[in-house]
Structure 1
Amino acid sequence: MSFNTSRRARASVGIAALAVVGLAACGGSSSTEESGAAMDTTDYSKWCDMKSELQGKTVSIYTSIVTPEDAPHKESYKEFEECTGITVKYEGDKDFEKNLPQRAQSGNLPDIAFIPQPGLLATMADTGKMVPAPESTAKMVDEHFGEDWKKYGTVGDTFFAAPLGANVKSYVWYSPKTFTDKGYEVPETWDDLMTLTEKIAADDSSAKPWCAGFGSGTATGWPGTDWLEDTLLRTADAETYDKWVAHEIPFNDPKVAEALGEDAKILKESKYVNGGFGDVKSIATTTFQDGGQPILKNKCYMHRQASFYAANWPKGTKVAEDGDVWAFYLPSNGEEKPVLGGGEFVAAFRDAPEVKAFQTFLASPDWANAKAKATTSGGWVSANKGLDPKNLVSPLDQQSAEILQDPKAVFRFDGSDMMPSAVGAGTFWTEMTNWINGQDDKTTLDNIEKSWPSS
C-alpha cells in the first residue's frame, strides 16, 4: 500500500523513532545475573516514547496459533499496547496455510502474519504484497539472532520477516532413572550413541534400545523425514543440507544415501527397535504421539523426537533432568552442533509506522521475555539471544533456549517444510513409510528424486 503525502510525512517520523528503538533495544535489557532468579528483562520506555506517534492505531495479526496457545501471545502484547496506544487485533485460523494465499488473491490481507514455513513465506513474497522489514527490525535481528535465522526470513536479496518462536527437533528422549540404574551416560558423540545402542541391546533382552512411530494420519511418514534431515546434518554438513533442500544436488545424492544408511542401522535393525510395539514394520503403524511412551514402561530406552513431544507424556509425568523423562541433544561427531528445528516468521503486508513498531517489538528481547513470562504452562521458546532462559517455565524450554543460543549451534530449518509440497508433504512422507516397511534405500531416494517438480 502506498502512502499519500501526509502519510509519508508521518512515516518519516515513525521510521526515525524506530531507528532509535533499534539501537536502544540492542542494549543491556536482556542481561542476567550469573546466579539467582530471573531478572526483569523488559524495558518498555523506548516503546512508550513513541505513543504520540502511534496512539489510536490498530495492527492486525493473522496466524495458525489458536486457542489455547493464543492466550499467552495476547498477554505478551498487553504492556506494549498500553504504552504505545496501539491496539493489536489477533485472528487465529487452523486453516491458515491454505487461507493466507487466498486472502492475498482477494485483497483481504492482515497487517502482519506469523508464517511457519519459509516456503510459504517465499510464496507470499511472490505475490508482491509483502512489505520488506524495516531497518529497525533488521538491526534487531542482526543483534539478537544468528545469520541462519535471518536467512530463513529472506527471499532473494530482500529481508522480509524476523523470527518469532522456535522449536528444537534434535532431541532424544530417555528415562534419567533408568540410565542411572543401568550405569549409562548420556552420549556426547554420534559414535557414543551407537556404542550405547549396542550395549543396551546386549544388556536387556526384555526391551529395545529405541522406539519410534511414523504414524500421523494423512501425514504418516513425517517423523521419518526428521530422522533423515537430522542425520544428514551430522554425516555431511550444513552446506550439503542446504544444497539438498534447494535441489542443487539430487535427492538421491550419495551423501544423502549415506545418511539414510545410518538411519537404517538403527530403525531397520530388529535388535534395536521397536521397543514396546513389535518389529521394524510396527514403526509405520505406531503414531508419533505413542512413539516414546514405552520409555515409561521400561520397554525402550530412547526416542528421537522434537521438543514439542513434551506435551505427549501422560498427565503427572515429570519432565526434568531428575524426572520420569528427559531429553538430551542428538549428538554429532564434529565440533559444531547442528540443530534441526522450526519456527514462525513475522511478515508484514502494510507499510505503516505502527506496523513497523510492532514488527520491531516482536524481534526484540523485550517481547521474547514477555512471551516467556506469559507462557505459564511452558511449551514455547525463542532463538532470540536476549531471551533469559530463566524466564521460561519448563526446564525443557530452558534447555532448548540454551541449545539455540549456543555459539557452536548451526541451526537448519526442517527440510521438508522448505521443499515443494509435492515432495516435502508428499513423496518424502510416503516413501519414508515405504522404506520403514521394507523398501530399500536406493529405491526410496530414487522415487523421491523422480517426484521433484521440473519447474
Structure 2
Amino acid sequence: MSLTSQRRSVKVFASVAVLSLGLAACGSSDSGDGGDAGSGDAGASKIDCAPYEAFGDLKGKEVSVYTSITAPEDQPHIDPYKPFEDCTGVKVKYEGSKEFEAQLPVRVKGGNAPDIAYLPQPGLLQTMVATGKVIEAPPEVVKNVDANMPDFKEYGTVDGKFYAAPLGANVKSFVWYSPSAFADKGYEVPKTWDELMTLTQKIAADNPDSKPWCAGIESGDATGWPATDWLEDVMLRTAGPETYDKWVKHEIPFNDPSVQTALAEVGKILKDPKFVNGGYGDVKTIASTSFQDAGQPILDGSCYMHRQASFYAANWPEGTNVAEDGDVWAFYLPAKDESSKPVLGGGEFVAAFADRPEVKAFQTYLSSVEWANERARTCGSGGCVTANKNADVSLLKNPVDKLSAEQLTDESATFRFDGSDLMPGAVGAGTFWKGMTNWITGQDDKATLDYIENSWPKS
C-alpha cells in the first residue's frame, strides 16, 4: 500500500471539518459539560432505514464483530449499533479481545474468521488481504467513504483495491496529568521538550515518595505497543516528519542513527529509575503494568505524568472529572521548540471476511454519517475523534474531544499516522512490540534496534 497520504499535514484533517466524534478504542461524554467519565445516553436515535432496504429482508440475521477494543472502551462502540439493529432486525455480536492481533490470523487460517474485524493497523490489513480472505468493500461503503472520509481511504487500500473503511481516529501526542497537583506544586505545563525534561527532573527532586512518570505497556498479545508510540512520538520530534516517513517505509534502516537518537531520548525517561514507574515499582514493572492501569496513580499522587492517547480518557474511574480544571487533563507532548508541532495519531479500519447481505449492510452503516452521529451521541467518556467530515460537529461536547480536534486542526501542526501501524504486520504488530518490551526489561538500545531491523521482510 502506498504511504503518500502519510506525508499530509494536519491541514488535511482540517479540510474534513473539525473531525467529528467516533473512536479508535475509546468513548466520549454526552453530558452537557463533558466532565465525568461514564456512559452516555444509550437510547437509540431514529435513522433513515432506506439505505438498508436494498440489502433485502435481514430480520433474524447475525453479524459478528471481532476487535481489540475491550471494556471499558467497548460499550461506546456497541451502543450505536442499536439504530441499525432496529432498522434491519440484524443482531450484531461484539467480541473484544486483548489477543486480537495474534488470534485473528489464527482464526482466519482455521476457517473461523469473524464477519467483521476492526483492524487497528493498515499493516495488519495488508497481512490479512494477503490471505485472500478479506472481501473488497461494497459499492455502498465506497460511496460513503468518498463522501465522508476521503483522506483516510488510502489507508484502507491495498494494491489499488479498497477493502476497509475507517472506523475512528485518535490523537496520541498527549501527556495526562492532574491540574490540581501541578497547581499545588507551582508546576507549569511545558512548552518545549527541554522544559518537559526540566520539569521531570524537578518533580523527581521535589517528591521523593512519588515519580514524575508512570507507564505501562502490557496489553495481552499486543504487549509493547505503548512503547512503540513513545518511540514514534519522539522520532517525530528529534528526526522530523520527513525522516520519520523514510523510517516507516524502510527507506532508511530501522536501526538508523536517527532512530538510535530517538530511542536514547525515550530512555532518558522510561529507563531512568528516578523518573519511573510511579505507583508500581522499578523500570521493569512498565512491562507488566497494563496500559489501562498505567496512568491511574496520577489520581493518588504516586506519579505526575502519563504519556498516552486521547482514548485513555475512557480508562479513568467513573466519576473522574476529565477537564482542564478537573481531576485529570492532558497537555500536548511538546516538540523541540514551539515553532513545530508534530502530532501522532492512529485509528481502526473495518474489514469484512464475509459478503452476506447483512454484513454489507452493517459495513454501510459503519461508514455513514448516521453512525458517526449516533456514536457521538451515545459516547461515554471522551477522547473520540473520527475523520467523518459530514458528522454533526455540535455533538462534540466532551473536553477531550475538543482538545483532540484542536490538535488535529491546528494549522501549525503536522500529522503522521502511527508508524508501527503502517509497517508490515510482522514488524509493526510483531517484532517492534516485542523488541520494545525486551528493551524495557533490560535489552540495550543497539540489540533492540538491530533485532527489529533484521526482522524486516526482505521482499
Answer yes or no: same fold by TM over 0.5: yes
Deviations 1:81-111 (A, max 9, x none): 555x473543536365556546655766665
Q: Which amino acid aligns with 2:54?
A: E
Q: Which amino acid aligns with 1:194?
A: M
Instruction: Give the Cα–Cα distance (whole angstroms) in 1 for the partners of residues 222 and 106 of structure 2.
Output: 23
> In the alignment, is residue 247 of structure 1 matched against residue 240 of structure 2?
no
**1:75: Cα distance to partner?**
4.0
Q: Which has the higher helix share?
A: 1
Instruction: Give the Cα–Cα distance (whole angstroms) in 1 for the partners of residues 50 and 446 of structure 2.
Output: 61
Alignment equivalent of 1:294, drawn from 288, 297, 307 = 297
Q: Which amino acid aligns with 1:321?
A: E
Instruction: Give the Cα–Cα distance (whole angstroms) in 2 for the partners of residues 254 and 388 of structure 1.
Output: 45
> In the alignment, is residue 431 of structure 1 matched against residue 440 of structure 2?
no
| Cα 1:191/1:388, change in 2 over 3 Å | farther
Q: Which amino acid aligns with 1:325?
A: V
Deviations 1:338-369 (A, max 9, x none): 33343321224556877655434322332111
Alignment equivalent of 2:191, drawn from 183, 188, 191 = 188
**1:176: Cα distance to partner?**
0.4
Deviations 1:201-247 (A, max 9, x none): 45545543223234556655433222111111222234433432333
> In the alignment, is residue 440 of structure 1 matched against residue 444 of structure 2?
yes
Instruction: Give the Cα–Cα distance (whole angstroms) in 2 for the partners of residues 285 and 244 of structure 1.
Output: 28
Alignment equivalent of 2:343, drawn from 339, 342, 350 = 339
Unaligned runs of 5+ in 1: 1-25
For 2:170, what is the secondary structure of its paired residue?
A: strand
Deviations 1:173-212 (A, max 9, x none): 1110022223333233334323433443455455432232
For 1:252, what is the secondary structure of its paired residue?
A: coil
Report 1:291-330 matches (<5 A).
Answer: 291-330=294-333
Q: Is the 8 A contact 1:212 1:286 kept in 2?
A: yes
Instruction: Give the Cα–Cα distance (whole angstroms) in 2 for the partners of residues 362 and 436 of structure 1.
Output: 38
Deviations 1:123-157 (A, max 9, x none): 2322344343356544543454363x323211122
What is the match of residue 3 of structure 1?
none
Q: What's the TM-score, normalizing by structure 2?
A: 0.74
What is the match of residue 20 of structure 1?
none
Q: Which has the larger radius of gyration?
A: 1
Instruction: Give the Cα–Cα distance (whole angstroms) in 2 for the partners of residues 381 and 399 of structure 1.
Output: 10
Instruction: Give the Cα–Cα distance (whole angstroms) in 2 for the partners of residues 454 and 311 of structure 1.
Output: 39
Identity of aligned pairs, percent?
Answer: 62
Instruction: Give the Cα–Cα distance (whole angstroms) in 2 for the partners of residues 299 and 389 of structure 1.
Output: 37
For 1:130, what is the secondary structure of its paired residue?
A: coil
What is the match of residue 11 of structure 1?
none
**1:432: Cα distance to partner?**
2.7
**1:371: Cα distance to partner?**
1.3
Q: Is the 8 A contact 1:390 1:398 kept in 2?
A: no
Report 1:8-407 matches (<5 A).
Answer: 47-50=48-51, 53-57=54-58, 60-64=63-67, 72-80=76-84, 82=86, 85=88, 87=90, 89-92=92-95, 94=97, 97=101, 100-101=104-105, 104=108, 112-134=116-138, 137-138=141-142, 140-145=144-149, 147=151, 149-216=152-219, 220-284=223-287, 286-332=289-335, 333=337, 337-349=341-353, 358-376=362-380, 380-388=384-392, 391=395, 394-404=398-408, 406=410
Q: Whose relative contact order is higher, 1 or 2, with alpha carbons under 8 Å and at least 6 apart?
A: 2
Q: Which amino acid aligns with 1:432?
A: M
For 1:382, what is the secondary structure of its paired residue?
A: coil
Instruction: Give the Cα–Cα distance (whole angstroms) in 1 for the partners of residues 179 and 78 of structure 2.
Output: 36
Instruction: Give the Cα–Cα distance (whole angstroms) in 2 for the partners of residues 264 and 322 of structure 1.
Output: 31
**1:254: Cα distance to partner?**
1.3
| Cα 1:408/1:346, change in 2 over 3 Å | farther
Instruction: Give the Cα–Cα distance (whole angstroms) in 2 for the partners of residues 278 and 70 of structure 1.
Output: 29
CA-atom RMSD, angstroms?
4.0
